[in-house]
Amino acid sequence: MALSGAVGSAFVGLAILIAAPVIERWEGTRTDPYRDIVGVWTVCTGETRVAMRRYTPAECKAMLDRTLAADWAPAVLRAVPGLQDRPYQFAAAISLTYNIGESAFARSSVVRRFNAGDWRGGCDAFLFWVNAGGKRVQGLVRRREAERRLCLTNL
């Protein structure tokens, strides 16, 4: 069952408030376009789906907030409706999804475990997502460990 109205908006807002600093820490923010670790054009806080041009820091922050609320949080709830009353797990899942994409998240063992009610197992499955371009990346190892810690909060 999906949340609606002010309660749903407040809950999504809380999860985004928790997730945004995690995403900002691990993605970093660069106002000029650059190629990421696997060669994808990226700008601002890991954004790949916008015009590749110079942005102001304020534009980058607004873009992140808007895309988390409009795209990433709803994608996570579509895949795992049970996250609607679990703000820390929801926030961690938003961060993961922002990094790996909606399709990969929807097919992941994180989603399968969460949907089976195995919350701790779902959090543990974050640690599977540590490769980029077919290679283990230490930065992703550290990010997934941080996301897992967040995910385990209040379980």
Give per-residue pLDDT as tens, 71-123.
Answer: 999 999 999 999 999 999 999 999 999 999 999 999 999 999 999 999 999 99
Q: Please tell me which residue in 24, 36, 59, 85 is annotated as part of the active site.
A: 36
Out of 27, 65, 85, 124, pick the active-site residue: 27
Q: Is the pTM of this model over 0.75?
A: yes
User: How many domains would you assign to the chain?
Assistant: 1
For residue 36, indicate whether it is catalytic: yes
Question: Long-range contacts made by residues 114-120, C-beta under 8 angstroms, separation at least 24?
Answer: 114/80, 114/82, 114/83, 114/89, 115/79, 115/80, 115/82, 117/82, 119/86, 119/89, 119/155, 120/152, 120/155
Is 65 an annotated catalytic residue?
no
Considering the chain, what is the average pLDDT of its residues? 94
Predicted pLDDT of residue 5: 53
Q: Are 20 and 65 in contact (CB under 8 A)?
A: yes
Q: In terms of Cα–Cα distance, which of 48, 50, 32, 51 is closest to 40?
A: 48
pLDDT given for residue 7 in this prediction: 47
CATH number at residue 31: 1.10.530.40
Q: Tell me the residue range of the domain where 58 lies.
A: 5-152
> Burial code of 31-44, b = ≥16 C-beta within 10 A, e = fewer?
eebeeeeeeeebbb
Is 85 in contact with 73 (CB distance < 8 Å)?
no
